[in-house]
Chains A and B, each alone.
Chain A
Amino acid sequence: QQQVKQSPQSLIVQKGGISIINCAYENTAFDYFPWYQQFPGKGPALLIAIRPDVSEKKEGRFTISFNKSAKQFSLHIMDSQPGDSATYFCAASSTGNQFYFGTGTSLTVIP
């Protein structure tokens, strides 16, 4: 059973455009939703995270939108840059222990 579903699998965006990646979850006990960025050959790096008590969190060009009733959350990358080209994983956890990761989105930003 896939705890966290992520889409799209791949995304191509023009430089300066908005990249949007979506995730959905089933377990209502989840209470922490991070997004990780991974470059080839590197480990996942925490990008931004949100708790369900807020509907949006913004850090620089990165924004998480959270819809508790729909059990969905999304990552928005504003003014996308070629350096943003990477694989993005959403994740969720409940007990504060293991993370359930989404299947990843490969983002390519075209100059």
Chain B
Amino acid sequence: EPEVTQTPSHQVTQMGQEVILRCVPISNHLYFYWYRQILGQKVEFLVSFYNNEISEKSEIFDDQFSVERPDGSNFTLKIRSTKLEDSAMYFCASSDFLRTSGINTQYFGPGTRLTVL
């Protein structure tokens, strides 16, 4: 069964450093998402991406964040200058959202645990 994959599984970085989190969405999906989950809290939406551009983003997704689809398979989240409060689990998701029926089944990857020291 196709699945979303993410690398690395755990990333440790120093405050102020740049990190890139990588995701490989399910191959025939066209909609891609990043969410984050601070330990013990709910899953929070960061950004959605379709047709090589951001379609929606939350207040959390400020200028320190960027997303890119550098090739036909990868989808990345970059944090330019990490802060302590960026420590969280970051989940990538993809969807084969069918506009005619409005069904948006999002499939989540296993996540990348980001620890900012």
25 contacts between A and B (CB under 8 A): A31-B102, A36-B43, A42-B111, A43-B91, A43-B109, A45-B108, A46-B105, A46-B106, A91-B43, A93-B104, A96-B99, A96-B104, A97-B31, A97-B48, A97-B55, A98-B45, A98-B48, A99-B43, A99-B106, A101-B42, A101-B43, A101-B44, A102-B42, A103-B41, A104-B42
Partner of B56, one of A49, A51, A97: A97
A98 touching B43, Cβ below 8 Å: no
Q: A32-B102, A34-B105, A49-B105 known; A100 and B45 CB under 8 Å? A: yes
Partner of B45, one of A31, A43, A44, A99: A99
Known contacts A41-B111, A96-B104, then 15 further A-B pairs from the complex at CB < 8 Å, ordered by chain A residue: A34-B105, A41-B110, A43-B108, A43-B110, A46-B106, A89-B43, A96-B102, A97-B48, A97-B56, A98-B56, A98-B58, A99-B35, A100-B45, A101-B42, A103-B41
Measured in the bound complex, the distance between the Cα atoms of B45 and A102 in whole Å is 12
Measured in the bound complex, the distance between the Cα atoms of B95 and A46 in whole Å is 12
Interface check B33, CB cutoff 8 A: yes
A43 touching B102, Cβ below 8 Å: no
User: In the complex, what's the smallest C-beta–C-beta distance from A91 to chain B, in angstroms?
Assistant: 8
* Residues of chain B whose beta carbon lies under 8 Å from any beta carbon of chain A: 4, 31, 33, 35, 41-45, 48, 55-56, 58, 91, 97, 99, 102-111
* Residues of chain A whose beta carbon lies under 8 Å from any beta carbon of chain B: 31-32, 34, 36, 41-46, 49, 51, 89, 91, 93, 95-104
Interface of A is mostly: loop
Measured in the bound complex, the distance between the Cα atoms of B31 and A43 in whole Å is 18
